[in-house]
Structures are given as structure tokens and as C-alpha cells.
Structure 1
């Protein structure tokens, strides 16, 4: 594991500083002061979690099953050390992490997003971007967030905040509707747990898909390695920048139930319609083996190129 560039705040972290411990308050989101947060998990007790970091607001929004359950103030990268935008997943969790770069500085409740140093963790919140790239959180909030994230939790870092929408795809991923195929996938899902039910040392692979209109390709990634590739077929229009988190089968409709997120500074305002994209039948059949609750599917108009990913990290860099 490469920890050489794991980032802390300038001069380390002093958790006793003002705003660092954090305070749960009852306020409108725009009225939150540095270190304050709202936390209401009772609004949606179950379902997949997604985290959205809004750089312009300096806020972290937490959604569970498409319902916002928490918002916190944060501090992102300062000029010259900007926090990268894009789609990430939690690669590692470490409740008691310390920086090997910044004098063994404590970085409690770390959710690692890249192997070269970007993470969500507790730290000082002066009220403006001040880190070397990480997303600093109030200590109390970071502990609460640590309890609801899991390996593979999607984290969208964007210039602005967009709320998730509910989407039901009338059939399978990247294929037309066929009832026998749908029943087959349902049987496959029955044996697969959601990543939130996995222990940290479980060996289950986390599946993710990226579809790029630039390359006309779809990549399947397990953990941080590419395991399959297929052809993307779509309507020829820009896809925009969207993330879909699979909840599972929809109870009322024969289809897969997704939470849809839009990200990016200037997103294409197309409706969330997964029927715009599909693939060849052979590859669609291969995809069935990778589907599990909690997997994510990314649409992008960026090329699938090493410049848009950080090493073997799962991340699309805007």
C-alpha cells in the first residue's frame, strides 16, 4: 500500500481546535457553521449509502436509499492542492489512521478514496478550503459516517450538489426486457449480500461498471482491476455525467431499482433513462455474473484512459 502521499492538513491535525470536534445541530443547511452538522439516519434506516461532496458549498451530503440523512460542513483542498472532482469508491477504512507524511498526524475515521492520498477523515474546519486534497470532517460526524459507509460506497466529489433521483430500468442492465432473463437475475441476486453486510476482511469482489461514449466501450471493474470489457451501444447523444447505485429488484415493477446521481460542473441535463444505453447480447449475458446490490454504474463522456484514473484506483477524474 502506498501511503507516501496520504494527505493531512498543513502542519498536521489538532483535533482539539475549534470546529474540529463538531456539533450536531438543528439548522437549515445553509446556516451551518464550521464544524456543525445534521444527522438524521431515522429518515431512511436501510439501503445503499452514497456520499456527495459539494466543493462550492463546502458541504458533505449523505444519502441512504436516495433519501438525504445527513449534511456536514467540511474543508477541501486549498489552492494548489485542490481536491479532485469525479466519482470514487471507498477503497479502505481505518478508524485510527495516522499520516506517514505529516509527522504521524492523526486522521481518525478515514475512508480512503485513492491509494495516493485522497480520503474523507476528521480534521480542522476553518470555514474554507484548507487541506492538501483530502476532505476534512468534524470528528463526531466522521465517526457517524464511518459506521454507515462500507468498502465500495460511492463518493461523488463535484463542484456543485445534485440530489439523487429514483430510476427503474424496465429489464436488465444494458439489455432489453425479457421476463425469463429478469427471473434469472433475481435468482442470482438472492445469493449476494449488499457490501454494507460484508465484514472488512470478507473477500467478496465489489463490481462497478463504467460506460464511455468517447470510447464506445464499457468496463467492468472488480475492486480495482478491470475484469471485462464490452461494446457500448447508445443513441449517439452525449451521456452526461451520471452515477447509478443498484438497490435491487423493484417490488412493484419488473426491473432493477437504482438511485441516480448527476455530477460535474456542467452536467448534461438528459433524463435519467438507462434505456439510452445497451450492449451486445453476449456481453449483456456476461454481465449477469457481476451484478450485486450496491454495485455502481457510471456514464461518462470522458475517455477511458489512464489520465482519467489514478493508477489502479477506481475513479473517473473530471
Structure 2
């Protein structure tokens, strides 16, 4: 009997020691204390699918709280998301803006808080609501998905306003005119003419070089023979005449080239206003609220 009683006491002692040990670990880990939090409300005008109660609230990637409730706002249109933020980790001021962001490929979303300048547009702040919020409001801005959706919507609206048939017809006319201009050029096209002009210019340079050598030799032998100098000068004068004619031909070829280029540029200038009207349609900003307006 005494042995059995000792075993019972030993078991009770062991259980008490383990209980005290587990309780101490739980207490050291902060299990008996909950952080002091403050609740804030965010109002979204688009889907919050993937955001759940308990989702993390982060400030620039650092956890500072969690989502405690998701419900319909009093106006029946906006979605109210309640954030519980730990006071010892984070304080909200007028620069804080909330947005949704995906946490991975699973489609789950969290809330990210950022401190942004006043130039960044804020949506559904407290003074923009049509009802009175029961807690402090953190304004929101569109996330990546909302910006992409808004941008696509703006692109489709801009394309709908453009007369694509007229633009297509004008483009075809311009291209047809350019083809006619190119067809009107002789078979030895502008490139061939320029090549010929360059070849002629090279020949002139070679001639000048030869004449220079001959003139140097003539001057060196001037005292012995004057007639070769006169003949060389006459030949030099003739070569200058030939050079003048070749330069005139070069100028005429360049003039024709500039005329053809000017005609092509004129057709392009007639096309540019229509392209500009299309580009003006794409210049609208990407705003999250456009989805609901």
C-alpha cells in the first residue's frame, strides 16, 4: 500500500511540474496578454474577393494588424473592411492609404498600408462618404488589379470613339499614294542615282589628284619646257569644266531626291492628325473609381 501511495504522489508531482513548465512557456510567449489594438474602417468600391477575416494588415510589408470584419457598408454599395491595428506597432495619420494586394498565385489578398503624399488620389475618405462611419476611416486607393481593369476600360472606350473605318480608309489612301510615288520613279531609283553621283565624285577626286601630280611635275620642269605647262593648264581647265558639269548633275539628282522625299512627308503629315486623335484617347488616367462611375 505504501508503494502504491508513493507512485500516486510521484505521478501527481510530475503532472504539476509539467503543468507549471507549460504554463511558464505560454506566459513567456505572451499567451496571457493580448496586444492593445485600435479599429479602423476601409471602404472599397470594388470586389474584395480573396480577402478574409484574419487576413494580415501590413505596412510596407511589415505585419501591423489583421482584418477583423468584412461587411456591406450602410449605403448598400461599398464594402466595409474593419482593420485591427496594434497600437505599439503602428499609428495611423493623414498620410496613410490602404490598398489590396495579392499574396501569391492562390488568389488570397491582404491589406497593405502606405504613407503617400497628398498628390496621390484617395478614395472614400471620411469626407467623401455619404454616411457617417462608426470608426476612424483609412482612405483607399486602387491596387494593381483595379488599375489594370480601369486602364482596359479606358482603352475600350477610346477605341469605341474612334472612327476606325475612316482611319483605315485614309491609311489605305496614303499608302496607295506612296506606292504611286515610288512607282513613278525611274527603274534606276534614287539609290542608284546617288550611287552614280558618288562614283562620279570619286572619279573627279582621282582626276584632281592626277592633275595635281602633273602640275607639280610641270612646275619643276618649267624652265626647261614651257609648252607642256600650257597644255597641262588647258587640260586642267577642261577637267574643271567636266567637274562643273558633274557637280550640276549631282545637284539635279539631289533636287529630284528631295522632291520625292517631300511628297512622301506630305502624305505622312496628312495621316498624323488621325493618329494623334487615336493616341489622345489613350491618354486618360487609370483610376480605380472609374469601375463604379
Same structural fold, with TM-score higher than 0.5 when normalized by the shorter chain:
no
Higher helix share goes to which structure? 2
Higher strand fraction (1 or 2): 1
| Normalised TM-score (structure 2) | 0.21
In our comparison, the structure showing a higher alpha carbon Rg is 2
Q: State the TM-score, normalizing by the size of structure 1.
A: 0.20
